[in-house]
Amino acid sequence: KKSHLSIAPNTHSFNTLIFALSKSETKELLERAMSLLDHMEYLSSNSTGNVLPNVLSYNFLIDGWSKIGETQNAFSLLKRMIKLQENGQIESSPNVISFSTVIHSFAAKGHALK
């Protein structure tokens, strides 16, 4: 007797991939991780239920961009998180790690936060 399993991606599986790609510290793989985040947002906006970006989804990418010196990309993600929070998506609210990673990234480049 054959068993049919229905396996669908969820937030955890997407975050695992984003985490791995973000640790690569290469722009190409970080861009792929960004595509996964964009796809998560698309899936969550179409109410699939199993996929909802959370603070980890964004923080993994903020950290990755910061580590390769792409401070503006990290800052853009932080601003995106703030906007999502303002629109009621509490699971995407930035935390102390989100802010401190971006601040550290700007400080490492000798810039003040604007």
Q: Please, which residues have CB within 8 angstroms of residue 84's CB and are 6 or more apart in sequence?
A: 92, 93
Sorting pLDDT into bands at 50, 70 and 90, what band is 12?
very high
Residue 114 has pLDDT above 60, yes or no: no
Which pTM value belongs to this model? 0.89
By C-alpha distance, which of 103, 84, 104 is closest to 94?
A: 84
User: 57 exposed, middle or buried (CB, 10 Å; 0-12, 13-18, 19+)?
Assistant: buried
For residue 77, pLDDT over 80 is answered with: yes
- Residue 113 pLDDT: 52
What pLDDT shows up at residue 3?
59
Q: Which pLDDT score is estimated for 41?
A: 92
* pLDDT band for position 45 (cuts 50, 70, 90): confident
Is residue 110 predicted with pLDDT exceeding 90? no
Mean pLDDT for the stretch of residues 95-104: 97
